[in-house]
């Protein structure tokens, strides 16, 4: 499998920052950096659009997903509000990250902070086929917790 090539443009306010990169050999996401001029403080419950200082040109049939970083979520309660955010192949504007502070303390974003991950993935544009009935499945219409909180242990009787 050949990896797609993504053209990336450094914007003036991000020219001195490194390009997004994979942290480890098998990382799925590249770290996006904050291209802020000064410290940006997110108060608990507050959300802000944080610039990345880059724009990308994705290949047709791919998208980039902007996802939270697990360490920021666990340690500080910081998440990407519209996770995953989608960057379409025809979008040429700056990659922005909508961060929200779900924690109890203010959180400071500094220039060059790793604020989110960007995962490039293939996608389909489907054709919808209107029907009167859908083919049945074992699950049916069960959703929103219908499978329970815990898996039953093999051999255990269900209550």
Tens of pLDDT, residue by residue over 107-156, are: 999 999 999 999 999 999 999 999 999 999 988 888 887 777 887 776 65
Fold assignment, 7-122: Deoxyuridine 5'-Triphosphate Nucleotidohydrolase; Chain A (2.70.40)
Where do the domains of the chain lie?
Answer: 7-122
- Counting runs of H as helices and runs of E as strands, what totals does the chain give? 1, 11
Model pTM above 0.85: yes
Q: Are 66 and 85 in contact (CB under 8 A)?
A: yes
- Considering only residues 72 and 157, tell me which one the structure prediction assigns the higher pLDDT: 72
- Residue of 98, 101, 112 lying closest to 34 (CA atoms): 112
Query: Quick one: average pLDDT of 25-43?
Result: 97
Q: Are 89 and 124 in contact (CB under 8 A)?
A: no
Q: Are 5 and 50 in contact (CB under 8 A)?
A: no
Tell me: pLDDT of 158 over 60: no
């Amino acid at each position: 499998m050949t990896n797609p090539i993504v053209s990336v443009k450094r914007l003036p306010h991000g020219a001195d920052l490194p390009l997004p990169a994979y942290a480890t050999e098998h990382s799925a996401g590249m770290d996006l950096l904050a291209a802020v001029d000064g410290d940006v403080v997110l108060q608990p419950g507050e959300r802000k659009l944080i610039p990345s200082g880059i724009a990308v040109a994705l290949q047709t049939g791919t998208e980039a997903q902007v996802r939270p970083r697990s360490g920021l979520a666990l340690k500080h309660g910081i998440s990407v509000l519209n996770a995953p955010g989608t960057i379409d192949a025809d979008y040429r504007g700056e990659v922005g990250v909508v961060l929200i502070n779900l924690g109890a303390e203010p959180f400071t974003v500094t220039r060059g902070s790793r604020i989110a991950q960007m995962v490039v993935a293939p996608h389909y544009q489907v054709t919808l086929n209107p029907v009167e009935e859908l083919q049945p499945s074992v699950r049916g219409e069960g959703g929103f917790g219908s499978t329970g909180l815990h898996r039953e242990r093999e051999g255990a009787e269900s209550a």
